[in-house]
Amino acid sequence: MLHLKTLKALGEGLDQGEFSSEELTRHFLDRIERLNPQYNAFITVTAEQALAQARAADAARRDGKAGPLTGIPIAQKDIFCTTGVRTSCASKMLDNFIAPYDATVVSRLNEAGMVMLGKTNMDEFAMGSSNETSWYGPVKNPWDTTCVPGGSSGGSAAAVAGRLAPAATGTDTGGSIRQPAALCGLTGLKPTYGRISRWGMIAFASSLDQAGPMTQTAYDAALLLQAMAGFDPKDSTSMNEPVPDYLAGLDQPLAGLRIGIPGEYFSAGLNAATGAAVHAALAQLEAMGATLVAISLPHTELAVPAYYVIAPAECSANLARFDGVRYGYRCDKPQDLNDLYTRTRSEGFGAEVKRRILVGTYALSAGFYDAYYRKAQQVRRLIRNDFTEAFQSVDVIAGPASPSPAFRLGEKTADPIVMYLEDAYTIPTNLAGLPALSVPAGLVDGKPVGLQLIGPHFSESRLLNVAHQFQQATDWHQKVPAAVQSGDEQGGAA
């Protein structure tokens, strides 16, 4: 079945003429048509455009101009601007917004010859950990459709887990690639801040947001990162660092690797079965030659409260542009300018977005800036210093990606604080700007859990190497939801 193949295998099949890009694209478009009502993973499907790109890819291959990704379908998170296609950020505010240009991530994948199937669902403006804040309705986890897929990149995660797409893009502000990857059994990579251009990616929190790949394997993540990474003069936060060959070091053995195990990541908040699965994964890495080293990241418990001052503060500034004047939603028959602003924003934003705007505006106000925002930035520095000190004695840091497997839809929506704690293990790396990835590491009650690997700045090659070697010794990344494996998904056989 074509949809069970990795990017690597699909590329080899295209090279060998086993199928064409158009045939492959039609296969995935058919799956989306039949199965998206079940998962709600896509907001917009670009079938006509996808088939045109596929035909162009087939022509390029005939002319000997194909690269490793040419003709392979991909799904784009609906936070990346795409020329002539709705870019909604899963919000009523942008439901009618047609982007006039491509985000750099989109243009680079287009240049690599990939075929865009459509735009995936997400938490509104990337604010959420369960994909339940979308104006288009919640996404459902293909492993258990009564459960969340994680967020905010839940649509991308569900699309790949349900094999509606072989890979997808995501964004990670506080864990929004790694947490849904963990809950859906995928490899999800958040690169170093500035490694991938943010130009054309609608901003939530500008000092934290980072794009990255969501794939079946570490090898596939390396393939996508190779195409996505690199300096972009249009993005002032883009780092002018050379892009290494991410595939070159994947087969390096793990002998001598020092893996730091922070005690703070195995505290009372961790589900016992999830912790056992992560410990088993660590034991596997140790058996492969790595050394486990106990470390401490003492300011970890301050990460969530610091993040929920800094991120809302930046969100309140970034979302001020959505006022009903220039583009996006506009309230009906405003009485005056104040009424236009007030009703447009009240009607156009969902509850979680409004909550964060209010918190951020409060934190930045004259009377509270020093007490909250400045203090949170000082804590951010302490967290970064914790990692810097730890990397003096270890090469990578490992722990859980999420406190538990996927939870039920609606289970945590009534208590924002409980929901925010879902990102307790992922937020610190965003505050420090570090690269991190989640790799499938087991099943708990039939649902996936992820092992998180964290590295120093620009150590993506090492993280992908460790993940790839782990996947050579285990088969967790090959597990798929039962319905996908059997072909018994709702709507017909695969």
Please tell me whether residue 381 adopts helix, strand or coil conformation. Answer: helix
Residue with tokens 């290494």, as numbered in its chain = 244
176 in catalytic set: yes
140 in catalytic set: no
Angle between helices 460-473 and 272-287 (to 10 degrees): 90
Q: Which of 91, 152, 438, 461 is catalytic?
A: 152
Q: Report CA Rg, the chain.
A: 21
- Cα(329)–Cα(311) distance, rounded to whole angstroms? 24
Token pair, residue 45, equals 């499907």
Token pair, residue 441, equals 């590491």
- Residue 410: Cβ within 10 Å count: 12
152 in catalytic set: yes
The answer to whether the CB of 408 falls within 8 A of the CB of 148 is yes
- Cα(152)–Cα(130) distance, rounded to whole angstroms? 7
Element (DSSP H or E) covering residue 227: helix 218-228
Q: Which of 156, 176, 197, 404 is catalytic?
A: 176
Token pair, residue 166, equals 């072989």
Which residues, including other chains, have CB under 8 Å from residue 476's CB and lie 6 or more apart?
Answer: 185, 439, 440, 441, 442, 443, 448
Token pair, residue 162, equals 């349900």
DSSP-derived pairing of the beta strands 447-454 and 436-444: antiparallel
Token pair, residue 118, equals 């459509």
Angle at 120 between CA 471 and CA 108, to 5 degrees: 70
In eight-state DSSP terms, residue 23 is H
Catalytic residues: 77, 152, 176
